[in-house]
Amino acid sequence: MKKILAFFLTFSLSLTLQLHAQCPTVDIETLMADINADSLRQTVLDLQNFGNRYALREGGNQNVAEYVAGRLNAYGIPAIVDTFHESGNHWIGGPYDQLFYNVKGILAPSAQADDSLVLIGAHLDAIAMDPGMNLLSYTPGADDNASGVAVMLEMARICHLHGLQFSRPVHFMAYDGEELGLFGSVHDAWVRQDAGEKIAVMLNNDMVSYQPTDDWRLTLHWYSNALDIVARAAEICTQYTDIEPYIPSSNANDDAQRSDSYAYYQQGFRAVFAIENIFSTSYHTDHDVADSNNYDYLAHVAKYNLAMLLEYANAATVSVNNIVVAPQLHAYPNPVSDRMMLQYQLAESSNVEVFVTDLTGRTMLHQTEGSQSAGSHFAEVDLAQLPAGMYLCRLHTAAGSATVKVVKQ
């Protein structure tokens, strides 16, 4: 896919959770207030304290998987350790003939609305090497990826704490062997595809706790079959967290292939992959320890996941109101060197035109998008022929216009 992805539109998004008739109404902010940075940190410490989570060590990660499964079971989510076998010759570890250990927990729906499920997952294995690329026996893997597992287990804890019920099954997954080539997710995605399962969304969290500055951003890697999902993820992140979502352009989205969500995309499933925007300086070393993480930031990543879970799992008591009147507009990337993507929201069907003007009001570019239905849309605009400078990009619809400043490099 050779076009730039751009999107997100911040508009009013309201989720209100109403529990059983005998329980008081609980809104999403109340649920999010129970997300606990200390709880997240404790999970990271628990995983770090295994000492070694390298998947090819003697005995493998069975004990780690049993810990994760035990946590899910304690939250009333029946969980199993899904054992599978792989053999081969890895460039790091050499020949192997090994058992691997995924964890699968399933929160059954209260009354299933359709035949789709929602999956939230993270990899449980870790790896550490010295500067000479020699394997180390101590693999704390706090950020990579105890942080992602901590988010997944925090979602399970919140569901248990509030007795949340959904109209889609929610599958809680922890994957083994990710560091060796997405072994666990490839195995699980293939099994699901072979069984004819349908996944509404796979939420992947991988390295989501390293944030050394006050400029909190979260990268949301995307897949071509789920552009609407990544757009919604950005909206939700903006609405419910203190984190600014960052959506990479197509030529900066290659890392989408480097984590477990990619295995699901390869099988035709829809997914979004969240990762810290400032990459950890302790990546794949024995310095990737719990004290290097920012747990307040991680708690906001958990809030993003909770809101996504509530929406896509169709919480039986969640209503969603998208209040949009005038057209709203976002341009990405900005600044732009050639092509940019406009993402906009229409409250009602309308003919759509795009105008790019210089600061004197002179029209430099005009394109017609035609008649479009209510909802979220994308338009690609090629600015390659324009000189460097600042421009105004205006979206014109029957309901009015929206304008965004664009810097052409």
Answer for the pair 336, 252: CB distance below 8 angstroms, yes or no. Answer: no
Tokens of 330: 């976002």
pLDDT band for 22, please (50, 70, 90 cuts).
very low
Residue 323 has pLDDT above 80, yes or no: no
- Number of helices and strands (H, E) in the chain? 8, 18
Residues 166 and 195 in one domain: yes
CA–CA gap between residue 348 and residue 113 (Å, rounded): 27
How far is Cα 95 from Cα 24, in angstroms, rounded to an integer? Answer: 57
- Tell whether 165 is covered by a domain: yes
Coil vs helix vs strand at 236: helix
DSSP 333: S
Residue 12 has pLDDT above 80, yes or no: no
Domain assignment present for residue 41? The answer is yes
* One domain, residues 340 and 287: no
Stretch 229-235: mean pLDDT, rounded?
92
Statement to judge: residues 380 and 402 lie in one domain = yes
Q: Give the pTM.
A: 0.74
Alpha helices in 83-201, H assignment, sequence order: 147-162, 183-194
Q: Counting Cβ atoms within 10 Å, is residue 38 exposed (0-12), middle (13-18) or buried (19+)?
A: exposed
In the three-class reduction of DSSP (H, G, I as helix; E, B as strand; rest coil), residue 116 is classed as strand
Q: How far is CA 339 from the centre of its chain?
A: 25
Question: Mind listing the pLDDT tens digit for each residue in 78-121?
Answer: 999 999 999 999 988 899 999 999 999 999 998 777 899 999 99
Give a yes or no: residue 110 inside a domain.
Answer: yes
What H or E segment, with its residue span, contains residue 308?
helix 295-312
From 320, 335, 368, give the residue that closes a domain.
320
**C-alpha atoms less than 13 angstroms from C-alpha of 80 in its C-beta half-sphere:** 4
The residue among 221, 190, 217 whose CA lies nearest residue 203 is: 221
Domain co-membership, 312 together with 339? no
Tokens encoding 8: 């997100």
Determine which of 26-40, 62-76, 180-194 has the lowest per-residue pLDDT on average.
26-40
Q: Are residues 271 and 374 in the same domain?
A: no
Per-residue pLDDT of 164-201, as tens digits, reads 989 999 999 999 999 999 999 999 999 999 999 999 99
What φ, ψ does residue 62 adopt, rounded to 5°?
-60, -45
CATH of the domain at 358: 2.60.40.3080
Could you give the number of structural domains in the chain?
Answer: 2
Whether residue 277 is contained in a domain is answered as yes
In a domain, 196, yes or no: yes
The span from the CA of 306 to the CA of 288, in Å, is: 26
Domain contains 310 = yes
